[in-house]
Amino acid sequence: MTRARKASVYVALVLLAAVSVVPFLWMLATSVKHGQDIYNKVPTLLPLDKKTGEWAATLGNYEYVLGVGGLGSAFVNSVWVCAVLVPAKLLIDALAAYAFARIPFPGRDKLFVIMLGGMMVPAITLLVPRIHVTQSLGMFDSGWGLIVPNIASVLDIFLLRQFFLSLPAELEEAALIDGAGRMRIFWRVVLPLSKPVLAVVTITSFLFHWNDLVWPLLVTNDPELYTLPLALQQLVASPDGGRAYYIMAGATLAVLPVIAVLLVFQRRILQGIAFTGLKG
């Protein structure tokens, strides 16, 4: 490639990356500005005083949204939901995937196909009656309602099963002949060999549930139960919705943990997407 072409490729990449990233920088900048300083006809990425042009950053917006805005308790709720849901779901999915991959029992493969078929129904079709089921089980507007109706994922079972099938069966057979039980093999042989796929499933599942707005929106009424995305949406819908400095502080709180996860696990996440072609 000629030097000029190479340079133009980089210029294009820098421009596209700017389009991608500047909204986040703008969000961050707005979130630490004083109210009067954001209404400025001259855009500035730095928190400067509108009149004097001096440095004028504040954390007051965060204080407000975490307290009065209700995002503090919502943050804690989101952490709780993810801390319970993500491991529980991983365990349930991995157990089922292992059985579907390795333990022969009558009707197993037919059942698996039926479950896969269920994956093709659009989520929205299930939403209304799923809320109804949650209500009938007495879990509506409760912490359980945020967790139990999401406690397994057919897609994750499929991914885990495909990976388990790719492991050499000889290892497990040797253990079986040595008299190890199925569960022992699962814990001691299969899971340690499956760290890459377990990581991908855990990370995508965390991202999905941390970001999920729709299910908490439908299943909760009590503001005490709001998760972070829902609390943020409620803040947008409140009279504070016009106060961009508050809203951007709230958005930053929702985005930062996810960016941290992306920075730490970027290789696994990107590989996972290329591998599955799907998110969440």
Partner 1 sequence: MTAPVLERVAAGPGRRARRRPGPRRRDHLTGWLLIAPALAYFLVFLLYPALSALYYSFTDWNLRAEANWVGLANYADLLFDDVKYPHFWKSVSVTLQYTLIAVPLTLVSALVQALLLNAVRRGANLFRLLLFLPVVTAEAAVGAIWRWLYDPQYGLINTLLGLVGIPGQNWLNTPELVIPALAFIAAWQCGISMIIYLAGLKGVPATIQEAAVIDGAGPWQRFWRVTFPMLRPTTFYLLVTGVIAALQVFGLVYVIFSGNGRSVTGGPEQSGLTYVLHLYLFAFRYDAMGAACAMSFILLVFIMIVTALQFRFVRQEAA
16 binds partner 1 (CB under 8 A): yes
Joined together, the tokens standing for residue 262 give 């992306």
Round to whole Å and give the CA distance between 181 and 173: 11
| Closest approach of partner 1 to the CB of residue 214, in Å | 5
> Which one of residues 56, 57, 115, 189 is an interface residue with partner 1 (CB under 8 A)?
115
140 binds partner 1 (CB under 8 A): no
> Which one of residues 85, 86, 147, 228 is an interface residue with partner 1 (CB under 8 A)?
228
Q: Are 267 and 114 in contact (CB under 8 A)?
A: no
Q: Using CB under 8 A, which of the segments 49-57, 79-87, 187-195, 229-237 binds partner 1?
A: 229-237
> Which one of residues 59, 127, 171, 174 is an interface residue with partner 1 (CB under 8 A)?
127
Does residue 70 come out as left (phi exceeding 0), alpha (psi in the -120 to 50 range) or beta? left
Angle at the Cα of 132 (from 129 to 137), degrees rounded to 5?
Answer: 130
193 binds partner 1 (CB under 8 A): no
CA neighbours closer than 13 Å in the CB half-sphere of residue 104: 0
Measured from the Cβ of residue 154, the count of other Cβ atoms closer than 10 Å reads: 16
199 binds partner 1 (CB under 8 A): no
Q: Using CB under 8 A, which of the segments 60-68, 79-87, 193-201, 272-280 binds partner 1?
A: 272-280
> Which one of residues 55, 124, 178, 192 is an interface residue with partner 1 (CB under 8 A)?
124
